[in-house]
Amino acid sequence: MPQRSETFILIPGRTSRQGTTLNEGKFTTEYVEETSTLLMSPEDMARLSLKKGERVRLRTTQGQIELPCQAAKAGELPPGILFLPYGDMSSRLMGGDTHGTGMPDSKAFDVQLERA
């Protein structure tokens, strides 16, 4: 039976932990963990019966990734919005079109999410 996918809006960005672990290098366990964990609203996690650390697949027209998810702090993310720190994983989902700005789309784009 095929996996059911849902459309969410992904907001990549920076985190304070990402900034502090960057001082040690991008290949440290802490940095890779921080940039490879998807944050979701607790309501979406409950609705989809996802537990902390379960792996999900995100898909865009540019690519797909699999990574663990966890609930954001209460009130931090509204339902329907996902957050992933900038890094290797988020870059795999972004397109290269800059629309003349010199910066590719990296905020608020649609992704399909399904259990991996």
Q: pTM, whole model, 2 decimals?
A: 0.84
Question: Contact 8/41 with Cβ under 8 angstroms?
Answer: no
Residue 10: which of 54, 51, 44 has the closest Cα? Answer: 44
The fold adopted by the segment(s) 6-115 is Barwin-like endoglucanases (2.40.40)
C-alpha to C-alpha distances, 66 to 23, 25, 92, 114, nearest whole angstrom: 26, 23, 11, 9
Domain residue spans in the chain? Answer: 6-115
Amino acid of residue 79? P
Q: Give me the pLDDT at residue 25, please.
A: 72
pLDDT for residue 21: 67
Q: What pLDDT is recorded for position 17?
A: 73
- pLDDT given at position 28: 79
- Are 38 and 68 in contact by the 8 Å Cβ rule? The answer is yes
What pLDDT digit, counting tens, does each position of 19-47 carry?
666 667 777 778 788 889 999 999 999 99
CA-closest candidate to residue 54, choices 64, 42, 69: 69
pLDDT digits over 47-93, tens only?
999 999 999 999 999 999 999 999 999 999 999 999 999 888 888 89
